[in-house]
Structure 1
């Protein structure tokens, strides 16, 4: 102590007798090479806010400073928090801790609040360092929470949940099984009005009315019921396989060999309706196809059941929110019995309108006349439409667009010829007007298709425009992570559309939903990305496994911190207004 005091007096005397006023301060010389450091509250500016049932803790980190990820610790009183969600971290080789995860510039940590009393306390401890070599001691901040009850937390969380997650929870709840299955029957009835089920109507009608005579109501009901059973059982089994194997099984069903086989089947069925078996087909093929046709016409129940099973393949690529909810439950719980029951109930719901259509189809038509041949030929055109739908799952371009136009022109031209042979009446004139509009629409569609320079956007380049909407193309999981980080660095969230050429609803999203002004406004701060999962490549399978994708279409959302929005993903087609409303509930 005395020695230190004498040294201090000596230093003061030396400084006091310095003769030159402009001479350099020895203290300045002594510490000239020492860096200066910010106080801890300036190096790491802390802030927080509570968003309903979520606590967000934020730090603005000064340049050349960083915080350790593993040093964040919380002590909670009168509250329960879930696991924190961290943004992507940086890797740093630390002299004392080795390779460590750190944060630079800014870090936002999100804690789900499962329950909290009013003024519940959260103490958060953190520790950081400066690149120049100074490490600060652990610092503690205190946060007071607003009240969050278990019920309100559930209600708040439900606001952001997609329908499929709600349905998965419904299956796993204590609610009556009968009520749950009845709900899925109703949901299935709604699905019967979607494009995925459309091909089943001409198939079923062709079976019932293909014989060319009136069918009794009881016979029509039994045929329709057996057909729906084949569709329901196949659809349910396929659903369980998809829940286990994921979207790659869906893609396998869209293999060109399978699609080409189905295309040939429906073209041949169309020729049956047209009465063109006089074509020079191999005699063995002709005999088998005639037998199949006669069995269906005669009401052979095994043949009808088999056609229903094929129809299950027709609908299999279409993933909807109810279907995904069931698949999600099966994948998570492994309860195959309940999963099969729910899938079967959904399929029966889809079949109810089909049964009604099968029963009433013939009853709504005139009792006798040439109309039976018109019905047969009309269903032949509809069979060709089904075949064309399968072709579009493999490729969609100028020629497929023209094929639709030619099919429309052929159908309405046939109706025009048939309409001319009917007696003059008001309804003949009305039919003529509708036929003219159909011919005009078909011709205009052909003209419009010929004028398109790029009929279908190809998922090849890094960026492309589809129906006026710009997408960033993603190649694989690693590419997505890089592009996600780039978007987050700009303060933007990300929406990624999981696309496949065989996914009809994916194309509906591109054409009807994404270009909508309300949707575009809701996605104003969001980077739109798209990945092609048409083929079962190792890259596409790795992406599906990383995000547990069950079917297509699937759309994922990621916030500005790079975290997927919990329960925010969308599966199945959504119209623009419903999709925009869903976006408005997400923290994008």
Structure 2
């Protein structure tokens, strides 16, 4: 018994294990120069990519994320042959935010740049630029520097009429005498004075990683994601309890266990093990899905058009089943075989088989709920999401069996089965039908059908939830509903919710943002008739200039580290920044400085910096802002929001991708409160 419980505990805990870090380094490169012949060679970049991340391919176009490309800086006795090529298992997906088909690689990829050797003494210097993202964030454009050959010998060996790049490398910037604070890895960092600007005696680039971490020492966004998955799963389990397939089984099963053993304690123990067995069965299903598909495949489901069409059809079928069109059933011989096996065995195995029988018998009611849960969890791309969701679902399902076994007298207080259970099923059918449109919308955008633009989607939701409210009021009936025309007070108040929700969505037909459904509705640009004009625009796109203005105005600063190719940055701006409260706080109470880490504008000359013991060049404006984010705040992913005072000190913990408007408002209000307190 103790071993059994210990194994279950360990099995459960492993599903919640995860590690977070501010500085992310998910792509690891090995470089080489292969001389194929006396006249031809190739630069090779072999990348190993961490699970859950992907690196974008070549030739994506200027409107998408950072594509892989090789940039030549110096060469002598050597010339490039063609463009950079990629080798590996390329994945092609339609992306909603960019409205384009994007290509990327997972696990590994090899980039090859062929070159022509025109002289035995050659020299080549340049860098590979690439972009990497996961389902929550993106890294700024990253670079892999390469340098092969001898520049002096190669230059001296060139004929006088040969084209040689005679530009000299940028001189290293002298390190300033600022405090060499430590970064997140404990490595001393020194910020070159050339990029600090004219800020007087205030060092605006001074690292504040420790101060920032003091506000929050863990990845709260990840916590919230798993927490929400747990809540969804638990609510799904509670709904499943109220269905006709599960509710009547509770008193029957608990009574069976109590009568099975003359020893009441033994009967209670068996009922508790029965509840634990239910958890193990559903948790195993969640872990199996994680292991079979993996985090990358789960993330891909959210953008794959074919899978989204299948999800749409599956949810429509589930909704029709709940409306009473037909009943989903597993083959009866399956449950009969498991049930007979449980009767023939004894001990823990028989109890486990009885729990398995419950899972099979109740499939017609729990199947659609589990299907909806797994569809929602799969689109989050979370590694342990399915396990967490199924654990929560099973926990809610198993609790009554355990509690009623501990307190058998409670069985007499259970409401009897009746028509109210069919109301629960039909209500769930309306929810499944509404959510099915979300997945059809993804496929519609992918194939460019334009049959489900934003106003069409909203119109369908208005109709669905209005019919839902009419059903609860008894104005709409299905085959299995009672003929009783009376509507109770509780059902009347329940009907007010979907009816009010329908009215709430009506302004969306003319372009209202509708924050409550921003995660479900198609993008705003698909709206044909849009009267809404709102948004947040940054006052500055330069850190030093913005800080100087904020000091003059006596206002705190909100730094927005973003990117032109950052999908989740655009989602935050559409779903969160358009909220009136958020809009007011950002535009009226803060000085917003937006820094694009993929800004390709070249600096007047490259700047060499020493970071983590390695020398690297800052070539573009985007490189400069990415360096600021890393050295000052110890982070390198976007979106990344941080609130600071006029001296560059943090006012609250940083904020990453999370479309919770209330959480974002609290983030801004806490920063403003701390600024006024410290002023």
Q: Shorter-chain TM-score: which interval?
A: 0.3 to 0.5
What TM-score, normalized by structure 2, do the two folds share? 0.42
TM-score of the superposed pair, with normalisation by structure 1: 0.47
Q: Greater CA radius of gyration, 1 or 2?
A: 1
